[in-house]
Structure 1
Amino acid sequence: MVNLINLESVSKSYGVRPLLDKVSLGVGEGQRIGVVGLNGGGKTTLLEVLAGITEPDSGRVSRVGGLRLAVVTQRTDLPEGSTVGEVVLAGYAAEYEWAADSRVRSIVDGLGISALGLDTSTSALSGGERRRVALAATLVAELDLVVLDEPTNHLDVEGVRWLADHLNARKTALVVVTHDRWFLDTVCGRTWEVTGGRVEQYEGGYADWVYARAERARLAASAEEKRKNLARKELAWLQRGAKARTSKPRYRVESAEALIADVPPPRDTVELLTFAKRRLGKTVLELENVTLTAGERALLDNATWRIGPGDRIGLVGVNGSGKTTLLRVLAGETEPAAGRRIEGKTVRLAHLRQELDDLPGELRVLQAVEEIAGRVTLGKQELSASQLAEKLGFPPARQWTPVEDLSGGERRRLQLVRLLMAEPNVLLLDEPTNDLDIDTLQQLEDLLDSWPGTLVAVSHDRYLVERVCDTVVALFGDGEVTHLPGGIEEYLSRRSAAAEPRPQAKQQGAAKSSAAEWRVAAKELARLERRLDTLHKKETELHDALAAAATDPDRLQELNNELKTVLAEKDEVEQRWLETSEAVE
């Protein structure tokens, strides 16, 4: 394989801190490489050195002659006074030229450029919209190598899947920094971890990286004990969780099974539900006959939604569907146009908003945390303010940094620490993964695994939703909150089925269409099989719990009701499995 770019003993420092220290590596033709590591650890610097935006302090960067390279960084500069169409379709003289190209049409539609309007001035765009325009302009071009820094930021779940499918269909080499673990696993065949000035290289995507890191942690010194436990727990999730990974070499699977032999399941749902009911009672949050509008558009139309004790719900929908507005109504911050909101008497609610305007800039990090409380109990874990701050990415030395000097990502983490220190029993999380690196995401998920309360999370990170939430609901724009037994995959299938084909798309061959439909059906079938496995395990656990509660009538009734719910969902999933299997045969 010919390398498109080579780095030889490259070093780069800012101040006295070396971000890259004598790094040697290469990017081969057609390789798809995911770059991971702590925030501030040098990932963006590595990308900028690769792309030629930044010169190294020492070492050599060589590129193959005639390399067609494009980079999309987090610093998006678009030409002043231009329109969206002029930026994205700069290489086309007339509309019919790009409209006749199915690949370009797919990019324009898939990234929501059509919805923005090709005649819209770039000066009127938000930061997220500008990122999408820059990404579309890059993908339209014929390239040998694409370098992307956090491309999934500002994309909804549907947009992230579209981008993954698009990149997988191209032969273009890719180097991408992202904290979206589903995207890493779906797109990347190699992973670079930037740590301590080095770049550790691993075969495979996120799952393989976790395998390798867990093995490395097993062999590490006792000082790495905390990290080892987290890596092993994450590995247990990957083995038992929603996404089956059976393509690993047998020796690696056996090694992984040995590593997690004594690791408990990430979450004991029955135990947490029982605890949540004791804390919260029967009523938590309810919306009755609610009508909610945004301008003249109805987000909810006479809708009723009841959220119970211990419910862990992922809320999905396209950008602009009203997810954030709905969270604000649940939090009591916004009044609906009609209907009523009911809140249980024992509810202690915390709302993680996307805005960062509620932090005391005059305090230091630890003081800002201790302002809420000195100690906190999260499930079975009791932590001091300093310990919780350290778990979410603030080492002891950083805890004395003034809040006003923190980066955007650090301020987001501090917001989350303060929210958890209040010991809420109802959490409303609006895009909690924004600006969090993978290590911090693992720590957050570890905390939420044992957190016994009600949770509603809006997130485009499908990995987090599948890991932390038991139920998925969606806003489809029909005025309802729709329950999705099949989770995010069902949401994406429904969105695909509802989308009307473009006139040009109808002209494409039937064979290509049927092949695409078969792939969608095959993925759906695999997802349904995983869901059936999960429901079967729940059914077994509930039967065991019923046997153990034989002398407790109240507990028996509670467990019996839960078992009925599980069996009803199991029947529904089995029916959908039968229907889907016919399409795959």
Structure 2
Amino acid sequence: MAVLSISNAHLAFGHVALLDGASFSLEIGERVGLIGRNGTGKSSLLKILAGLEKLDDGLLQLQQGLTSVYVPQEPELRPEATIFEVVSEGVAEAKSLRERYEIHDENDDLAWVQERIEQIGAWNWEQRVDETLHRLGLDGSRIVGSLSGGLKKRVALGRALVAQPDVLLLDEPTNHLDLDAITWLEELLNNFKGSLLLITHDRAFLDNVANRIVELDRGQLRGYPGNFAAFTAAKEYELQNEALFNARFDKLLAQEEVWIRKGVEARRTRSVARIQRLEAMRLAHAARRDVQGKVKLDIDTGGASGKIVAELENVSKRYGDRTIVNDFSATILRGDKVGLVGPNGAGKTTLLKLILGELAPDSGEVRQGSRLTVAYFDQMRDTLNLEATLADTISPGSEWIEIGSQRKHVKSYLGDFLFSPARANSPVKSLSGGERNRLLLARLFARPANVLVLDEPTNDLDIETLELLEELLAEYDGTVFLVSHDRRFLDNVVTSTIVSEGEGRWREYEGGVQDWLIQSARAKQLAARQPAPAAAPAPVAAQAPAPVVAAPKARKLSYKEQRELEEMPARIAALETEQGTLNALLTGSELYTQGAARIAEVTARAAQIDEELLLLLERWEELGAR
């Protein structure tokens, strides 16, 4: 049963249709991840469902008596208030009713007040607040203005959860949260009894929390059962089939345009129906909203740095009584992709400054490499001039930009980052959060550098841009230092991870976050078992050389294998026929009216056929070679 829904929804920003006859419903107990390109209208949709904005046209329906709470990307909290006072705002009605009951006058309807207090559990609202603070690990006496961004996000979530809403609407809930807090939030949301709709670009978070993905794409909302991994597989088939359909449509339209231009022959045949079909095709083509292009990322690495970027030996750094870095040693080589992981406030920025020579250690030694050119990605965007145009932000005072040996017009370069030429002279303040991050990346990559320092670059970036940024950084010849709480992003980019282990202790692990977690868990298990010390390995020189094994001679096919080879063409043809049928279903619209179970069944079978065909073709090649 749907707790809220929109149907035939229209919403436009200027000439861009954010919602174009879209429909969506949120069912009881669902945990839906809302994804889509930056600027497509996801946050606007969430505000509409929260009752903060209105549709231009269409119908919004809410279940009677529904309570919903909306937590924006950057929650507004009273800085002078305590955490307890701010979280208590979530039970404002309960507080008001109980005060009204305790300080009533003769005009009050006490019977109604008492009944309402019973309904919403207002007698013990303080206990609800205390329990929520305990679950969130928050000290209710602390002043909100003194908190970090991550703790402020926890306070906002506490204010939402204490209200015990039927629906929770969250916009980028993992922003400003460290890895431990994200894991905690996953558990919290998985135990939430109501319905959940959240916007996030954290793919690992979506995989662990969502049971349905809804994509806002070209004004339409389309749902996919399962988590983000299931969505990725289904979406790939859908886009392939859409491209194939559009190519066939465009070919047929071109043929019909040639026919109509013959004029005399068209009039002679008097094919009124054919002419009407052509007119309909022209209208359909004009109305079609094609898939937006992908960001094209490139970077000028400038001259190569020396082989060693930095060597740290027994480095320590303290601030007052607090040890930030304690006896840390590491060697960073050219081309290393290093992730820095730790709780907010652990000292990741301090360690980075030590590595790059921007901060002197209290003890120990730091040796810098030669010819280092460092470019920084600014997490807080405070270097962006909001009044400047996009073009001036990228190339002040010039219409051209040099990237390596290539010279590009600034509008063309902005186009690589999905900013249309018309927006080149728009002010930065007109951009969404994700678009500002994309602009920062455009500016970063326009400057020659052989060392990149990226501090939370993934905040607000859409998933496609994230994947392209991953690809670029993986292929980048220079050195990368990456501070991020996005586990999937780190795993796909870094070659090693420096992890805060508390009290100023830092340790470097090979690989990404998953590798660190596995290695860390294994080390704890070994420590718990306290195994006996292993015998020293034999010297390499004393080991006998490995025997050379002759390659086995190719053998003839058995009778069974010969039969298998003969039957393969028919098996492959049958699978290809079934594949064609399923692709037609995925391309059409009828399938998407048949429910989530049927969509999942068709998508899963289509993926299975691909694997079966691949295995069959490999086996065919193997048997044929013999």
Give the TM-score normalised by the residue count of structure 2. 0.62
Change (3 A) 1:282 1:480: farther
Work out whether residues 492 and 512 of structure 2, in 8 Å CA contact, stay in contact via their aligned partners in 1: no
Cα distance in 2, alignment partners of residues 59 and 5 from structure 1: 14
The equivalent residue for 1:36 is 35
Cα distance in 1, alignment partners of residues 320 and 436 from structure 2: 31
Cα distance in 1, alignment partners of residues 520 and 479 from structure 2: 27
Do structure 1's residue 207 and structure 2's residue 241 form an aligned pair?
A: no
Cα distance in 2, alignment partners of residues 311 and 99 from structure 1: 47
* Deviation at residue 105 of structure 1 after TM alignment: 6.0
**What amino acid maps onto 1:173 in structure 2?**
S
Match of 1:328 among 343, 348, 353: 353
Cα distance in 1, alignment partners of residues 355 and 244 from structure 2: 45
The equivalent residue for 1:475 is 500
Cα distance in 1, alignment partners of residues 476 and 407 from structure 2: 12
Count of matched residue pairs = 438
Cα distance in 2, alignment partners of residues 288 and 80 from structure 1: 42
Work out whether residues 326 and 506 of structure 2, in 8 Å CA contact, stay in contact via their aligned partners in 1: no
The equivalent residue for 2:461 is 436
The equivalent residue for 2:4 is 5
Deviation per residue, 1:405-443 (Å, 9 max, x gap): 545543332222222222322212111112322232122
Match of 2:401 among 374, 378, 385: 374
1:477-492 superposed matches below 5 A: 477-485=502-510, 487-489=512-514
SS in 1 for 2:313: strand
The equivalent residue for 2:309 is 284
Deviation per residue, 1:158-204 (Å, 9 max, x gap): 11111112211233211001111111111111111112222122222
Work out whether residues 84 and 129 of structure 2, in 8 Å CA contact, stay in contact via their aligned partners in 1: no
SS in 2 for 1:165: helix
Change (3 A) 1:293 1:495: farther
Computed over aligned residues only, the root mean square deviation of the Cα atoms, in angstroms, reads 3.6
Work out whether residues 31 and 195 of structure 2, in 8 Å CA contact, stay in contact via their aligned partners in 1: yes
1:200-349 superposed matches below 5 A: 200-221=222-243, 279-349=304-374
Deviation per residue, 1:42-67 (Å, 9 max, x gap): 10111112222222222221222232
Cα distance in 2, alignment partners of residues 451 and 314 from structure 1: 15
Work out whether residues 217 and 224 of structure 1, in 8 Å CA contact, stay in contact via their aligned partners in 2: no
Deviation per residue, 1:130-156 (Å, 9 max, x gap): 332111222234332211111101101
The equivalent residue for 1:56 is 55
Deviation per residue, 1:212-233 (Å, 9 max, x gap): 33223323449999xxxxxxxx
Work out whether residues 331 and 351 of structure 1, in 8 Å CA contact, stay in contact via their aligned partners in 2: no
Cα distance in 1, alignment partners of residues 123 and 351 from structure 2: 43
Change (3 A) 1:340 1:224: farther
The equivalent residue for 2:280 is none
Cα distance in 1, alignment partners of residues 159 and 393 from structure 2: 42
Change (3 A) 1:370 1:56: closer
Do structure 1's residue 108 and structure 2's residue 136 form an aligned pair?
A: yes
**What amino acid maps onto 2:41 in structure 1?**
G
SS in 2 for 1:299: strand
The equivalent residue for 1:523 is none
The equivalent residue for 2:143 is 121
SS in 1 for 2:164: coil
**What amino acid maps onto 2:235 in structure 1?**
R
The equivalent residue for 1:150 is 172
Change (3 A) 1:74 1:479: closer
Cα distance in 2, alignment partners of residues 439 and 361 from structure 1: 26
Cα distance in 1, alignment partners of residues 337 and 433 from structure 2: 27
The equivalent residue for 1:194 is 216
Cα distance in 2, alignment partners of residues 56 and 451 from structure 1: 44
Do structure 1's residue 392 and structure 2's residue 420 form an aligned pair?
A: no
* Deviation at residue 485 of structure 1 after TM alignment: 4.4
* Deviation at residue 26 of structure 1 after TM alignment: 0.7
Cα distance in 1, alignment partners of residues 317 and 34 from structure 2: 41
SS in 1 for 2:86: helix
* Deviation at residue 493 of structure 1 after TM alignment: 8.1
Work out whether residues 321 and 476 of structure 1, in 8 Å CA contact, stay in contact via their aligned partners in 2: no
Change (3 A) 1:386 1:59: closer
Change (3 A) 1:454 1:282: same
Change (3 A) 1:479 1:120: closer
Change (3 A) 1:143 1:96: closer
Cα distance in 2, alignment partners of residues 413 and 204 from structure 1: 29
Cα distance in 2, alignment partners of residues 450 and 171 from structure 1: 44
Do structure 1's residue 68 and structure 2's residue 96 form an aligned pair?
A: no
Work out whether residues 7 and 59 of structure 1, in 8 Å CA contact, stay in contact via their aligned partners in 2: yes
**Which consecutive unaligned segments of at least 5 residues does structure 1 have?**
226-275, 500-516, 518-585
* Deviation at residue 205 of structure 1 after TM alignment: 2.3
Cα distance in 2, alignment partners of residues 86 and 494 from structure 1: 42
Percent identical among aligned pairs is 36
SS in 1 for 2:216: strand
The equivalent residue for 2:181 is 159
Cα distance in 1, alignment partners of residues 245 and 371 from structure 2: 41
SS in 2 for 1:289: strand
Between stretches 140-149 and 408-417, larger displacement belongs to 408-417
Work out whether residues 340 and 498 of structure 2, in 8 Å CA contact, stay in contact via their aligned partners in 1: yes
**What amino acid maps onto 2:44 in structure 1?**
T
The structure number with the bigger radius of gyration is: 2
**What amino acid maps onto 1:59 in structure 2?**
G
Cα distance in 2, alignment partners of residues 444 and 365 from structure 1: 20
Deviation per residue, 1:359-378 (Å, 9 max, x gap): 46676434443469834369
Change (3 A) 1:81 1:304: closer
The equivalent residue for 1:547 is none
Deviation per residue, 1:526-582 (Å, 9 max, x gap): xxxxxxxxxxxxxxxxxxxxxxxxxxxxxxxxxxxxxxxxxxxxxxxxxxxxxxxxx
Change (3 A) 1:153 1:100: closer
The equivalent residue for 1:506 is none
* Deviation at residue 124 of structure 1 after TM alignment: 4.0
Work out whether residues 495 and 510 of structure 2, in 8 Å CA contact, stay in contact via their aligned partners in 1: no
Do structure 1's residue 88 and structure 2's residue 87 form an aligned pair?
A: yes
Cα distance in 2, alignment partners of residues 169 and 55 from structure 1: 31
Cα distance in 2, alignment partners of residues 423 and 182 from structure 1: 32
Work out whether residues 348 and 426 of structure 1, in 8 Å CA contact, stay in contact via their aligned partners in 2: yes
Work out whether residues 311 and 367 of structure 2, in 8 Å CA contact, stay in contact via their aligned partners in 1: yes
Cα distance in 1, alignment partners of residues 440 and 84 from structure 2: 38
Cα distance in 1, alignment partners of residues 161 and 492 from structure 2: 31
Cα distance in 2, alignment partners of residues 99 and 123 from structure 1: 20
The equivalent residue for 1:464 is 489
The equivalent residue for 1:241 is none
SS in 2 for 1:219: helix
